[in-house]
A = this chain, B = another copy of it.
């Protein structure tokens, strides 16, 4: 990772930093593979989406090979998998998600529900504590086809028990689709052990694969031939370069590909995954929990007197890799913090998100960041800043 001693970066859950090896690998792909190898390099590139998917599966997703593909964006993958799941669940016409789910998930499902005349049941989650199993259990019935939830909530960082909730959903005869955007690379994900059905996630947060790097999708092996995704593209075709007259989906996970994959982003997924794999997700998680607990401890002591309220679960095992703090001036405080070279981010309504990604963040970073927060809040040194959010992701 780049070393910029002045900056404390607590926003790796929005855009992860650039790994040194990714920088070198991207330059190699651009200068050599593309620049010199030209079209001949496709023989190495054509297998990348599967190869990067298998690396994610092994190191970060708790999944056996052949179930994960790097492709498209989270939005497009969610559309593909949710559509495929609904087609496979004929006779059931309800989709469930929760009101705290990430916007693109809710929007995609709204669109699908509108197009198909399905009902979209929007469960209420506590914005700081996440979805309760009880709420989900009450909403399940034999009309439910699909349940779409985030493993780690994007705002509070609340972590739900994937195995427990998947089991509830399965008992009702429905399928699960998990959004792993804030989970992959920050908590050990156990897709196979949880008998998760489907999942999607991005790679530009904790996987550090760069701005707009491709997403991934997971389809449990026994579902791969039962489910057919709606976007029938040439990269999902069996024997693609025979360019045959009729679409004939490739066997297995490859049928969930669509068009030409972005090569540069996919090699960055490989490098980012390799880095986390070498560190080990269990060790990263242990450090992450220590970092966030330390952060919460300091916040209790230093920030509570200045109007901050913890907006994340207090129990470590119910938290992902980031912590949210509520404050009436959260937006201006987040901007004042950036001025002090500490980057977190703002999320509406009134939350400051801080993600001490364990691969790059030290305990002294957390101390320094919270000390600066304390000063800003105590001195009201955000007073000169505008109150309106600008563009952040």
List chain A positions with a Cβ less than 8 A from chain B: 2, 4, 7, 9, 11, 14-15, 17-18, 23, 26-27, 30-31, 33-36, 38-43, 45-46, 72-76, 79, 99, 102-104, 106-108, 110-112, 115, 202, 204, 210-215, 230-237, 240-247, 258-266, 338, 343, 345, 347-348, 389-393
Contacts and interface: CB of A to CB of B under 8 A. Distances in A.
Contacts of A233: 73, 75-76, 79, 104, 107-108
Given A245-B99, A245-B106, A348-B243, A210 B263 contact: yes
* Copies of this chain held together in the complex: 2
Query: Quick one: which of A110, A202, A245, A262 has the most chain B CB within 10 A?
Result: A262
Given A111-B232, A233-B108, A234-B103, A260 B391 contact: no
A263 B211 contact: yes
B237 A107 contact: yes
A66 to B, nearest CB: 19
Most buried by B among A31, A212, A236, A389: A212
B389 A104 contact: no
Contact of A43 (B26, B258, B391): B391
Contacts of A17: 35, 38
B211 A264 contact: yes
A263 B212 contact: yes
Given A18-B34, A35-B23, A244-B103, A74 B259 contact: yes
A317 B115 CA distance: 43
Contacts of A244: 103
B14 A260 contact: no
A45 to B, nearest CB: 6
A231 B76 contact: yes
A107 B26 contact: no
A270 to B, nearest CB: 14
Contact of A18 (B35, B115, B210): B35
